[in-house]
A and B are shown apart, each in its own frame.
Chain A
Amino acid sequence: MNAIVSVNQLKKSYNQKPVVREISFAVQKGEILCLLGPNGAGKSTTINMLCGILGYDGGEMSYRGENISSCLNRFKRNLGVVPQDLAIYEDLSAEQNVRFFASLYGLKGRELEEKVSKALDFSGLQESRKDRAKTFSGGMKRRLNIACAIAHEPELLIMDEPTVGIDPQSRNHILSSIKKLSQHGMTILYTTHYMEEVEEISTRILIMDSGTIIAEGTKESLKEDIFDERQFIMEIEEDQCLNVDEFYKIEGIKKVEKQAQTLTITTLKNIENLDKIIALVITSKTKIRNLFCRTASLENVFLRLTGKSLRD
């Protein structure tokens, strides 16, 4: 494995109350690792500890196999952080903002100007580069917040809920930007409590709740591992000849529901029985208009793991 950052047994308490409980994970090169969990799960605390602005009570963190404390400057040079709260100078222009934050990473002269321009281009703010940030919309400010973090082209980009409180259009722009950054080889650690964002961009997911990582894997594997069922949804022509009870004779069938022209069949996913189901429908002289397989969503996964909805 090619881990950029590894976290081992990391823990943190506030006033004796544990908020991060000995979590361990690694961020692999080139991936978009999503840290998914409800508010208060410990995501931002974990990020803040990783970025060095919050102390921790135990555990260790390493960058490319070396303890972060002993290679802190090198780690920080290769790290870009998009904080949850907007951290931009509202009275300065977009260009001045990006230039300042990029210069903190040692960029200067022509290289600085080129990278500032590139970051503004990437964020779709080139045309507004001379405008003060305070004149921007919420979405533009969020994009500027990101531009300030990527101008120095970090190896690892940590994004702490970067789409909170913005319109769908800006959110889509940000999500597609993240995918583009990943295609360019940037490794991304992304925290969110929005399930749909994780579905869209993640290559791997850590699900966190009450300070603990409760599941880890790709979105497909999480759904596979946690659910042993799948559903076939069949749109059929209404036919009185179809006897729902007949389906229970097929191996693996757990539940069959018929509502108007929709037939929902829940079956064990490790048993291949779709051919038998279709054969039964056809034998009943019922026409199938449409058929699709519904798998569990991450929301279902989270609900199954924690017994509560992600937005509770």
Chain B
Amino acid sequence: MLAVFKNNCNRLWEEKMYLVVSLILMIVAISAAILLTAHIETKGNLALVVPDQQVLSERESALMANPYFNVTVLETTPETSALVQSRYDAVVTINADGNDAITTIKNPAFKTMVETALANPTGFAPDNRPIRQTGTNILGFMMMFLLMQGVLYARFFAEDKEKHLIRRIAMSPLPFGHYLLGHGLFIFLIIAVPSFLVLGVAALMGIDIGFSLPVYAGLIGVLALLATAFALFLNSFFEVADTANMLGSAIIILTSILAGSFYSLSKEATLFDKLLHLLPQKDFINFVNALEKGSLSQSTFAQLVYVFAISAVFLVIAVANTRNDYLYH
């Protein structure tokens, strides 16, 4: 097993650019996650239209003091283009009779939220805000790259198949399980260690990364396990390295976007949303989100177990499939 691991390290050393590019992508992903977390947490922008130099009521003054909104008082109603350009999220017009009208191009849920805020501006706080926190965002952004790295580094295994080296290895006394374990360990560590080090450096620089480093070690470990299992699973079906690489990358990009790696596509319990839970990325990110918000429950733990289970299934199929192709005695 160690011979295979060391050999892969030698092979990687001859192709250092892969490692460098992976590290750069990881740093970019983490930076983007941190920056976008800050952006997502910005307040809602409201235009409060109070015509005819009308004096603000107590309710409207309370709305202006609400920490969840930036309220700009205007005398005239802004153009609709201001909404399109996202200068304002909603325009609240106070009529002469004291009633208000809300105009927004955002979804009805947002309009309801503004109505609630107007009805009770002092006590208003967004209910169960869907915004992800820093740690969840970082892991969400890293997830796709980590999974793709799995496929990238599994190319050594794929090349062994493509160039018939695996047949030669299968003829040696090295137990076949050790051979696959050597590849698996290599992929796992080459995914997990550099990404953990990048986060470690970020933490040392005083950047808020959401979770503590030990928690990150565990969570990255889960992702690296999933990436390793998926990469070996996929490559066990193909003889040509490029085929597995291209197909794997396409699957990972599509499923990661659908699973809401970067931004949750569905917030409602629709059938689509339920189907998305088949994707381990979705379950992982939900678990991480709950962990960061401190709202872990039995169902979120079940989601983590699902990620482990699907990784195990991938690994078992990969091992069985490869053994079936190359071992007969």
Contacts and interface: CB of A to CB of B under 8 A. Distances in A.
B11 interface: yes
A229 to B, nearest CB: 44
Contacts of B170: 52-53
Interface string A75-102: 0110101010111111110001000110
Interface stretch (B171-179, B185-193, B232-240, B276-284): B171-179
Contacts of B3: 100, 103-104
A8 interface: no
Interface of A: 48-49, 51-56, 68-69, 72-73, 76-77, 79, 81, 83, 85-92, 96, 100-101, 103-106, 132, 148
Contacts of A100: 3, 6-7, 10
B130 to A, nearest CB: 48
Contacts of B296: none
Interface residues of B, number: 22
Contacts of B198: none
A77 B171 CA distance: 9
Given A53-B326, A73-B173, A92-B10, 15 more contacts: A52-B328, A52-B329, A53-B328, A76-B173, A77-B173, A81-B168, A83-B164, A85-B164, A88-B165, A89-B7, A90-B163, A92-B11, A100-B6, A104-B173, A105-B172
A61 to B, nearest CB: 9
A101 to B, nearest CB: 7
Contacts of A81: 168, 171
Contacts of B167: 48, 53, 83, 87
5 contacts: A68-B329, A73-B173, A76-B171, A86-B163, A92-B7
A256 to B, nearest CB: 55
Interface of B: 3, 6-7, 10-11, 14-15, 163-165, 167-174, 326-329
A92 B14 contact: yes
B207 to A, nearest CB: 37
A160 B89 CA distance: 74
Contacts of B329: 52, 68-69, 72
Contact of B171 (A52, A73, A106): A52
Contacts of A68: 329
Given A92-B10, A103-B3, A79 B328 contact: no
A54 B328 contact: yes
Nearest to B12: A91
Contacts of A101: 168, 172
Contact of B327 (A52, A89, A103, A104): A52
Contacts of A51: 171
B168 A91 contact: no
Contacts of B10: 92, 96, 100
